[in-house]
Structure 1
Amino acid sequence: MPPRAVDAGLVALAVLDAWLNLFGELTPLVLVCAVIGCAGLFLRRRFPLTVFLLTLPMSLFMEVVVAPFTALYTLAVATRNRPLLAGCAMLNAAAGTLSWPLSDTFSTDRTWTLILFVYTLATAFAPVLCGQLVQAGHDVERQLAEVEEAREHERALYSQAVLARERAQLAREMHDVVSHQVSLIAVQAGALQVAAKEPDAREAARTIRSLSVNTLDELRHMVTLLRASGGKETELTPQPTLADLQQLIANSGIEAILTGELPADISTTAQRTVYRTIQEALTNVRKHAPGARAAVLLWHDAHHFGVIVTNTAPTRPAVALPSSRQGLIGLRERAELLHGTFTAEPTPEGGYRAELRAPAGTD
């Protein structure tokens, strides 16, 4: 229920309580005290102590319960000052015991007055204890939330530690196995380049050696990044751009041509995606279509940009090579990050066609 509705209901109950317990003549002073004490409940959440003090005069003129007890309860929920709460309970008991005019109070049996004060004081502690109980419940809820937050943080730290160990293990495997084998390929390619007598064989060996060296360089950066394991920031490998396409095609090891162009203002993410698309397509041509020629076409219009990589049919049988079959999946995921599409399909001439298409202006 909305707080305003709750406050309105309490004010209505306080007015009814005051009306039912009105004794004697309704003088302007009594009316003002009753109106102030009841209406003040609207402000009990913001000024609990002030509102409680406003209910004391009406308790002096009539035996009301709703307004002073509500104010005491609100004050007990809002404050942790136990002496203040005890003093307010005593003030409420005193206001409820005294009668107006004050001389009438002391003209009666003082023993009965004391008994009435003790009874009223005990009754006044009921809303105070209820308010303190609610406050304790809020404290428990807050502490449970803090404990749960601490546990979530602990679980996150544990997950990071596990991930760090896995990264370190992966880095060791890449350094000890992959890097070593690629190094051997580079060394053997260099030896073949020196020993080969035919120009085509020397060029092929040079291409293999160049690709192996570039692969080693990227592996070193990846190993460094994996060893960082979320600690200090590590310098990443410089990401490729459109300016690196000519070098990529020259080192691809196949006969390929690059035509067309893309806008110079496309984002670095888009440039990297185009580069990786061409790189993966040329790699697939080299692996699965030996002797084929490739054509790389960059294009753009007012609303889209993209790249098309096509290759002719292979001229000799392909050698079976291990493949994770994740390359095309990765290209589709890169295209989706640009809100674009990636398609790859065979051509009627026996070749293959891969196309990246993305809307202009994407990041």
Structure 2
Amino acid sequence: MKGETRSRPLWITFGPVVAAAADAAVATAPMSPAPWAASYVAVAALLGRLRTPLSVLLITWPGVFMGSSWLAGLIALYTVARLRSDRRLLVLCTLLVATGNFLPYPLSMGELAYRATDFSSIENAVGTPMAAAALGRAIALRSELAARLHELTEGRAREHRLLSEQVLAAERAQLAREMHDVVAHQVSLISLQAGALRTNTTDPATKDTANTIRTLAVRTLDELRHMVGVLRAAGGTSGELTPQPRLTDLPRLISESELDIDAEIDEQACTRCHETVERAAFRIVQEALTNVRKHAPGAKVQVRVRQENDELQVEIHNGPADPAAVPLQLPSGGHGLVGLSERVHLLGGFFTAGPRADGGFVVTATLPTDMPLITQPSTRG
């Protein structure tokens, strides 16, 4: 291609020159000095065909016209087609070589009239230049396709590496979050329990044991905070280690969704639910509203969250999309509802999702609320 700087094998540079020289030697054996000189000038010019293909083609044309360097002209035309993509230029160059093949040397009106009525002469004059030009473009397109395929492969490899790094960063950030929200919380409870035991007991041995437990817990918390800091640094620019969302965050989620939502959320529901249940309920509503924005823009939505006996009922209904609404071009991996179903089933609940007869969609989940709670001990006294 134009601007190529890669080194080429010697046979690519000199092979066509040798072939053209052999053709010229055979063609010019019985000829006069003019065709002989034109043929070998054309052969010598082929050495520079990769740098200045158009100039070389023009230099080879006299030899094509005189019939002494036919192959050199075709090689020059092939090189132009290989290195230049301008169609009009390629047509002109093909016509130029075809004209040189067709005209008799020396010019004779009788011979010209004969060739004009001889189909084989026209076919030979036009067909071989067209074949050379077509071959050059085919090789050029093949090279371009190979280069683009190589770039695409490298681009996908880079994307795969970036995606792997992003997944790893997300895993580290999630691990840091879990350690911050769960493990650190549990260790804090151990420390509080040990402090309460040390305060309330009168047995010296028990006091020493409780003091040791509390000291170890505090030291563990310090090391844990350091480890969380390391994971956060390795996890990139993830969000702050804020607590995970609860049911009390649903009104904020609904207000920020910018959807037409009719919400009925029982404020007394799940007052003693485990945070995992509340988090799952929040994620279900969040994913359902996200899907409405993706697949049913402008649709009316109903959100119901209520508690029945020992079960938390979550229902999200939406109608068909508003034809006048502009859909959001959001990416969709197709794994959101699957992940929610797995989350609900791990909690021992039930999950359904599917289309409605009116063209809308419904998501329902039933979550158990009787999971054991861990409460902080009293530190009075």
Report the TM-score, using the length of structure 2 for normalisation: 0.50
Shift of 1:8: 2.2
Deviations 1:307-334 (A, max 9, x none): xxxxxxxxxxxxxxxxxxxxxxxxxxxx
Shift of 1:32: 3.3
Shift of 1:133: 1.0
From 3, 19, 22, give the equivalent of 1:16. Answer: 22
> Are the counterparts in 2 of residues 78 and 135 from structure 1 also a CA contact under 8 Å?
yes
Query: Quick check: 1:174 aligned with 2:162?
Result: no
Structure with the bigger RCO (C-alpha within 8 Å, sep 6+) is 2
- Percent identity of paired positions between Structure 1 and Structure 2: 38
How far apart, in 2, do the equivalents of 1:120 and 1:191 lie?
Answer: 105
Residues 197 and 31 of structure 1: is their aligned pair in 2 closer, same or farther, counting only changes over 3 Å? Answer: farther
Shift of 1:167: 3.1
Counterpart residue number, 1:89: 94
Counterpart residue number, 2:145: 140
Shift of 1:47: 1.8
Residues 79 and 230 of structure 1: is their aligned pair in 2 closer, same or farther, counting only changes over 3 Å? Answer: farther
Alignment of 1:1-363 (within 5 A): 3-22=9-28, 24-27=30-33, 29-101=34-106, 104-113=107-116, 115=118, 116-117=121-122, 119-160=124-165, 162-188=167-193, 209=214, 212-223=217-228, 226=231, 230-232=235-237
How far apart, in 2, do the equivalents of 1:207 and 1:54 lie?
Answer: 97
How far apart, in 2, do the equivalents of 1:114 and 1:230 lie?
Answer: 80
Counterpart residue number, 1:247: none
Superposed CA RMSD:
3.8
Letter in 2 for 1:67: A
Deviations 1:17-63 (A, max 9, x none): 11211265432x43432222101222222222222222112112224
Counterpart residue number, 2:264: none
Shift of 1:176: 3.7
Letter in 1 for 2:28: L
Deviations 1:252-276 (A, max 9, x none): xxxxxxxxxxxxxxxxxxxxxxxxx
Residues 162 and 6 of structure 1: is their aligned pair in 2 closer, same or farther, counting only changes over 3 Å? Answer: closer
Letter in 2 for 1:58: G
How far apart, in 2, do the equivalents of 1:231 and 1:138 lie?
Answer: 40
How far apart, in 1, do the equivalents of 2:223 and 2:201 lie?
Answer: 28
Shift of 1:186: 3.6
3-state SS of paired residue (2:108) = helix
Shift of 1:82: 1.1
> Are the counterparts in 2 of residues 224 and 234 from structure 1 also a CA contact under 8 Å?
no
> Are the counterparts in 2 of residues 11 and 42 from structure 1 also a CA contact under 8 Å?
yes
3-state SS of paired residue (1:108) = helix
How far apart, in 1, do the equivalents of 2:166 and 2:18 lie?
Answer: 60
> Are the counterparts in 2 of residues 228 and 234 from structure 1 also a CA contact under 8 Å?
no
Counterpart residue number, 2:290: none
> Are the counterparts in 2 of residues 15 and 38 from structure 1 also a CA contact under 8 Å?
yes
Letter in 2 for 1:9: G
Deviations 1:152-204 (A, max 9, x none): 34434543454355335423432344212322344355567778999999899
Report the TM-score, using the length of structure 1 for normalisation: 0.52
How far apart, in 2, do the equivalents of 1:53 and 1:33 lie?
Answer: 12
Q: Provide the aligned length of Structure 1 versus Structure 2.
A: 232
> Are the counterparts in 2 of residues 21 and 63 from structure 1 also a CA contact under 8 Å?
yes
Counterpart residue number, 1:348: none
Gaps of at least 5 residues in structure 2 are: 1-6, 241-381
Gaps of at least 5 residues in structure 1 are: 236-363
> Are the counterparts in 2 of residues 63 and 96 from structure 1 also a CA contact under 8 Å?
no
